[in-house]
Amino acid sequence: MTVEYQFPEGFWWGSAASATQMEGSRNGVSGETIWDHWFENEPNRFFDGVGPHQTSDFYNRYKEDIRNMKKIGHNTFRLSLSWARLIPGGQGEVNQEAVSFYSDVIDELLAHDIEPFVNLFHFDMPIEMQNKGGWESREVIAAYVDYAKIAFDLFGDRVKTWFTFNEPIVPVEGGYLYDFHYPNVVDARRAIQVAYHTMIAHAKVVEFYHQEQDGKIGIVLNLTPSYPRSQNPADLKASHICDLFFNRSFLDPAVKGEYPEDLISLLEEHGHLPETQPEDKDLLKNHIVDLLGVNYYQPRRVKAKDHLPNPYSPFMPDWFFDNYEMPGRKMNPYRGWEIYEKGIYDIMINLRDNYGNIESFISENGMGVQDEDRFLKDGRIEDDYRIDFISGHLKWLHKAAQEGCNVKGYHLWTFMDNWSWMNAYKNRYGFYSVDIETGERTAKKSASWFADVSKQNGFNA
């Protein structure tokens, strides 16, 4: 049988998850993260008052979960290590129970011919490190580099694909601009320092990895194309500035080893350049990534400002553009996000043409839906909407691959329903549903569909 959308040989089919969202912080020995701390202090800010303590119980059920991954054709899986679990407090003694757990997970994945992709940081700062200033602090950067060295030493013999950060702009936006992550600061100057120091921490870890290890190391960025309302110069300028803040502030230093001059000039003009050290420039320039993970969920549509910003309000990226709701856009009403499949192609073409066609893959793409039990039929959730979502994006990814983009794989967010930060279990994303009360896993229709895609290394429309 001919497969209409055939992907390159050796394509990575799999999914992604994070430690905090699936392990359960009360399982085993673990230090406290900012999420544990925030939930204890403000549980009202979490959907249905559900915190990170239990989540999806991967900690105790990982063997079952990995068997299920194999069943649906995974050949790769991205997970994260919890810094606070491996080194409670962020510095000092290594937790041997955590070493055993992560080692067993890696071995189990390999035993099922699933290559582990391991990420070092996914929003889960140890609270002790946050109390020292988090990414505002060079001391915390040093502690993170030490943690990375320990992780490489413990697991680098079996893990050959590493990532320093997942979506590093999200703690900047959530924690220091828009008040949806701890420490709930609204201060652009501090936000910019956090963003800058995150990339210094990243480059230091890349430097060490290339000296000591023989695999590949990259970063995972949520790239969100900034589409202008029109070709009017004012709209084009708005989308350009939006792109500088939300995409290129991490993409350029990670892949090119330098920041865009336009961004530097803009921050300088408004007195918001971060504090730097003389050696930083060479550090960034000489330690770029081997591989780029791309998380894509939605586009960003912007237009020129309708009104001048309040000069007495906090400095924000939003001073330079307004968000724009395109008439007729397709929506995921549960998440409030636009569905725009072509965005995945536009990202890949940009990487091909402007970023040296760096080796990349879709490290997250997914659709969160509320009350999925509505679609239960004969014991299975018939999530045709998710199949349509994935296949729509894969068609555009296939086109990008056909046109010479160096795209290596596709990972769904996520393998099984998991805890989603402040949203907890409000929206479900998984190939497998998880009963929060019993922990029981049940394959959705999308799981069997994805198994066929992986087996054929492609699909028919």
At 384-417, the pLDDT tens digits run 999 999 999 999 999 999 999 999 999 999 999 9
Distance in angstroms between the alpha carbons of the first and the last residue of the chain: 13
Average pLDDT over residues 196-213: 97
CA dist 379 → 37, 383, 442, 443 (Å): 38, 12, 8, 9
Domain 5-459 belongs to what architecture? Alpha-Beta Barrel (3.20)
The residues spanned by each domain of the chain are 5-459
* % of the chain exceeding 90 in pLDDT: 97
At 178-190, the pLDDT tens digits run 999 999 999 999 9
Active site residues: 364
* CA dihedral sign, ordered 310, 314, 315, 320: negative
Cα–Cα distance measured from residue 293 to residue 61, given in angstroms and rounded to the nearest whole number: 27
Res. 336: pLDDT tops 90: no
Average pLDDT over residues 48-52: 93
Average pLDDT over residues 301-314: 96
Cα–Cα distance measured from residue 105 to residue 373, given in angstroms and rounded to the nearest whole number: 30
